[in-house]
Amino acid sequence: MSFPLEPEIYFEDLTPGRVFELGTLVVDEAEMVAFAERFDPQWYHVDRARAQASTWGRLIASGFFTVSALMRMYVDSVLSRAAADTSPGMENLRWFAPVYAGDELSATLTVTDAQPSTRSGELGTAFLQWQMHRGPQLVLQMNGRGWFIRRSPLVAPPPLAPPGPPTASTRATNAG
């Protein structure tokens, strides 16, 4: 992904409570199985006969395939329009229900908090929550953070010098 020439979304636009609709996608079986064969070849992702005989009833998508699909939706809907930097990480990833080939999944992104970045005055940290649904059923949820460029960078104050012994000038300044 390249940085947009004229971003529409900056850190200041990521206010707590803002929700982005990330669209929908239909899970393609060939992509789902190819991903599992390459990156997560557990039997319930790649062995059709065994999956059909199990309580799953058919092949289920790797959770990491589902997260990757969600990431693509996020890039297409938000990051491709944003003054985005990198991400310091994700947390609390949960899969609530299996995903099957042919499922139509929708996703949202909610800004839960926004704070100045401790990394740079040019950045802000957005705290984010992604959710993916099949109809009304929640299938995936994760939280994470993203660094986004500010329209107006914060000017960091110079570091404070540690207090030293009083001098004649500081005694005069502090005296009145």
Query: In this predicted structure, what is the pLDDT of residue 175?
Result: 44
**Cα angle, residue 149 at apex, residues 145 and 151 outer, rounded to 5°:** 135
Tell me which residue has tokens 């740079």.
120
DSSP per-residue codes, 122-157: TEEEEEEEEEEEETTEEEEEEEEEEEEE-SS---PP
Say whether pLDDT at 169 is over 80.
Answer: no
Instruction: Classify residue 101 by its DSSP letter.
Output: T
Task: Judge whether 108 and 19 are in contact, CB under 8 Å.
Answer: yes
Q: What is the mean pLDDT of residues 124-145?
A: 98
Q: How far apart are CA 63 and CA 120, in angstroms?
A: 34
Residue-wise pLDDT for 40-70, tens only, equals: 999 999 999 999 999 999 999 999 999 999 9
Residue-wise pLDDT for 73-109, tens only, equals: 999 999 999 999 999 999 999 999 999 999 999 999 9
Tokens describing residue 54: 């199990």
Tell me which residue has tokens 């500081």.
170
Q: Is 65 helix (H, G, I), strand (E, B) or coil?
A: helix
Residue-wise pLDDT for 4-26, tens only, equals: 678 999 999 999 999 999 999 99
Query: In this predicted structure, what is the pLDDT of residue 158?
Result: 45
Length reported for the chain = 176
Domains of the chain: 11-154 (3.10.129.10)
Query: In this predicted structure, what is the pLDDT of residue 109?
Result: 98
